[in-house]
Amino acid sequence: MIGFKLLHEKNHSSATHKGTGAWFGSKPINVDIGQNPVFLLRAPDGSVGAAISSNDSANAYKQALITLVKNTLDRFSRGGFSAASLEAAMLGGAENARWKWDRMLEIVRNDFTNIKKFDEGGLYYRIIHFDPKSGLAAVSRKKANPDDWNPASAKLSIESGTKGFSEGHAGGVVANATRFFREKTTFTALREVVIPAHLAETPDAPFLFWSAACSAGAEAYSYAMYIHRLLTRAKATCPFKVFATDINQKLVEGAKTGVYKANKNDIGEYRAYFRRYGELDGDTVRFGKEIRQFISFNTFDLKQRPRKKGFRMVVCANVFQYYDDAARSHFLENFMSAVTRPGYIFVGPMRDPIIHALGLKKLTKYKMFMVE
């Protein structure tokens, strides 16, 4: 049977494997799972075992895990062990990755009804040492600084913040934050102010929109669909483009596929958009080439001065609340350097001293700022 042992924090050691994978064998398996949960399987005679974990973002996590579990069960099957004969356990998963624990349980409980659960939750990074022979899953863990993986509770500086986002320590927070048509006032602003101003002043110039810190990309697709609809209804002839950037390479690559799992509320509210600009199959949305041609996904660190200019509007809904005032001012100055005049910027609530120091005009109704 699979058992659990918690090692002393001072014994937090290195691991042979890290990240996403299915590690299979007869020898002890050592995996750095970080904040992610891990699924353990063991043959009843202890001859072989497996550890399965994924560091993928919300957009790709479910399919990655399904594939890993299937491939692992195939390997057990080739050794003469059916899924019903295997011992199973779930272990780890920090509070920040609770959604991964729930998703993992949803996937594996179809094949396994008696799953042991160990060491769930808490502010920890974990390394597991799983010995198939004894069935013991020994865990060394160290207390995590909340600033490392939950920037929502922190006031990060530019220097301390970038690493966490780029390496995915903030992945659970950021990936889950994104959703379709997220900031309602920005869409109202596009309809009532931004696009009318653009068409009145520069009707033939390209309409450029920047979705900064776009996370898994649902917001970028939302803006592209909405802008396309508004320009079409206005019979505008100007081209448009949504530039979507994030520092996390995995999130960017996932967004490029244009495939998303939508929740029931989104499907009910935005079904017309999903069907107009893509295909809706159950809770899966696949965006087509018609809308994807208007979106460009790339990695970008917001602390750098953007080389691209001429944006009519910038929306950054994911980052500012995590940083201190000095970093916020720096990011805003970068956005201001990239927008045309008048330009429009949404970054969420901002303290008045920063707004006044940068000379921004507050558009209270739309909860955003104008650069004159």
Q: pLDDT, tens digit, for every residue of 39-64?
A: 999 999 999 999 999 987 666 788 88
pLDDT at 234: 96
How many domains are contained in the chain?
2
Q: Do 56 and 192 have their domain in common?
A: no
Residues of the chain with pLDDT under 70: 9-13, 57-59, 96, 144-155, 157-177
- Write the CATH number for 78: 3.30.1330.200
Q: Do 184 and 136 have their domain in common?
A: no
Q: Do 187 and 300 have their domain in common?
A: yes
Which residue range forms the structural domain that includes residue 210? 172-371
Q: Do 76 and 191 have their domain in common?
A: no
Q: Do 185 and 268 have their domain in common?
A: yes
Q: Do 133 and 185 have their domain in common?
A: no
Q: Is residue 71 part of a domain?
A: yes
pLDDT at 10: 60
Q: Do 188 and 137 have their domain in common?
A: no
pLDDT at 159: 63
Q: Is residue 215 part of a domain?
A: yes
Residue 240 neighbours by CB under 8 Å, 6+ apart: 206, 207, 208, 209, 227, 228, 231, 294
Q: Give the whole-angstrom CA distance, residue 207 versus residue 199.
A: 9
pLDDT at 11: 60
Q: Give the whole-angstrom CA distance, residue 228 versus residue 268.
A: 21
pLDDT at 195: 97
Structure tokens at 233: 């209804």
Q: Do 203 and 302 have their domain in common?
A: yes
pLDDT at 170: 40
Q: Is residue 150 part of a domain?
A: no
pLDDT at 67: 92
ω before 28 within 30° of 0 (cis)? no
pLDDT at 171: 37
Q: Do 204 and 106 have their domain in common?
A: no
pLDDT at 145: 62
Q: Do 214 and 360 have their domain in common?
A: yes
Q: Do 68 and 184 have their domain in common?
A: no
